[in-house]
Structure 1
Amino acid sequence: MAMLNTHAVTDLPQVRRQKILLLLERDGRVLASELSTHFEVSEDTIRRDLTELANAGLVQRVHGGALPRPKDSGKDYFARLNETDEMKRQLAQLAAQQVQNGQVVIFDSGTTPLHIARSLPLDIRLTAVTASPMTAVALAEYPGVSVILAGGQLNPATMAANGREALELIRGIKADLLFTGVCALHPEIGLTSPRFEEVELKQALLDSAAQVVAVTTADKLGAVEPFLIAPCNRVHTLYTESRVPTGDIEDYRRLGLNVVVA
């Protein structure tokens, strides 16, 4: 019986693409030139592999290679809210301790800022600003919290208002603190989003706060979405897990971020 040619198996596209995903998980990024050498195929072949993986939502294509995508990329708001794990709750409770009485605090859209709002002390006194109706309702339960809700068209994917009305309100506020939503945060690429329509508002949020706090589970670190919001160093404090599956937590500290791990 003839022996199986291992190179022939490796050259099968589906096998090679699975191995590319394993390399991406291990290294945090892959380069087409290096994959070409590793698998002994042309760069055109590798580029087709990466394009197929990107079309399947498994990687984010960038010039020369690919980066990971967050696990919940593309899921709607309620799907993400229902899947909230214990680590996200712990991070939210930890981040909520940063809020001080008398501050003006902006809560971005997303499920994590909602959990932070729900984790505040019952006797907290502050002015809260948000474009998320659900977060506004959660904050309204605190007797000492004055809530400012940005208006505009509701985006069903984020369950938050966006557009000119929300943008103008945010640009007119100078807050002490912003809890920014995180879709993906990469030390080299920065803070990115899968939705073009929310980029301008998120940039305005960053400009409106003296301190920017990002709270995220580790799967969103080292990941990249299609639309750039801001460089990574626009975040001042990062609350996350101690174990990062792609890259090194020290990459964020080297950029000047205060990294707090749960």
Structure 2
Amino acid sequence: GIMISSSLKNSFESSFYERMQKNYSKKLEIAGKAMAYIEGKQTVFLDSSSTVFVLSQEIFKKFSNDKNFITNSPAIIVEAMNYPGVHIISTGGELRQEFNIFGGSWVTEFLEKINIDCAFVSAAGISPEGKITTNNKDLASILSLIFKKAKEVNLIADSSKFFLEGMLNIASLSDCTRLITDSEIKKSALKQIRRVSDVRVIF
């Protein structure tokens, strides 16, 4: 099962851990696949989603001081405390406790100044038209900027996210370098993704 430090449990709301545990086996499968795309990257952005948190746990076990990790996730920052060799940079910003993220204009102003080799991001849902969506205004602003700034963007999303549609569009699937999902993705979903985008799908 998922391992979360006691300090992290005490510091953040239970809703984050409920999201973490939902489809956890799929998230862990996705994390294993995503690890292949961090090799050779110097500066890596990790978003504030529960899926990326699971990935961060795997990353921190393998990589120590040879990479710069940038995040707007309080949970990832606390998790990194367990790995003294990991170099992590916080975006700063306003803490949105209900979502466990740092948001606001400070985050986007900081990210504007940073060169990012690759990013790992998730989404609330992916629409049938191939739009990456969220219901959170802060996340929409941050991730839209990441899609413009990062040399590579890896969208990691479990198969339950197809085809859910949030209120706000972040980007299109075709804007991703690759989409990494789990092996339970339905053939019909895969066919629809390939119909509306040219994104490379890893499953």
TM-score by length of 1: 0.65
Cα distance per residue 1:127-172 (max 9 Å; x no partner): 0000112112323444543111011111123211000111111111
Q: CA deviation at 1:253?
A: 3.6
Hey, what does 1:259 align to over in structure 2? 201
Question: Which of 45, 57, 71 lines up with 1:118 in the alignment?
Answer: 57
Q: Give the distance between the partners of 1:134 and 1:174, measured in 2 at CA.
A: 23
Q: Give the distance between the partners of 2:172 and 2:15, measured in 1 at CA.
A: 25
- Percent identity of equivalent pairs: 21
Aligned residues: 187
Hey, what does 2:11 align to over in structure 1? none
Out of 210-219 and 197-206, give the one that drifted further. Answer: 197-206
Does structure 1 residue 213 correspond to structure 2 residue 173? Answer: no
Q: Compared with structure 1, are the counterparts of its residues 227 and 80 closer, same or farther at alpha carbon in structure 2 (3 Å cutoff)?
A: same
Structure with higher Rg: it is 1
Question: Which of 68, 72, 90 lines up with 1:149 in the alignment?
Answer: 90
Is the Cα–Cα contact under 8 Å of residues 41 and 117 in structure 2 kept in the other structure? no
Q: How big is the alpha-carbon RMSD for the aligned residues of Structure 1 and Structure 2? A: 2.2
Hey, what does 1:163 align to over in structure 2? 104
Q: Which runs of 4+ in 1 moved over 6 A?
A: none
Does structure 1 residue 91 correspond to structure 2 residue 27? Answer: no
Q: Give the distance between the partners of 2:40 and 2:83, measured in 1 at CA.
A: 13
Q: CA deviation at 1:233?
A: 1.2
SS at match of 2:53: helix
Q: Compared with structure 1, are the counterparts of its residues 172 and 93 closer, same or farther at alpha carbon in structure 2 (3 Å cutoff)?
A: same
Q: Give, as a single letter, the amino acid of the residue that structure 1 aligns with 2:168.
A: F
Hey, what does 1:106 align to over in structure 2? 45
Structure 2, unmatched stretches of 5+, are 1-13
Q: Give the distance between the partners of 1:109 and 1:135, measured in 2 at CA.
A: 8
Is the Cα–Cα contact under 8 Å of residues 29 and 182 in structure 2 kept in the other structure? no
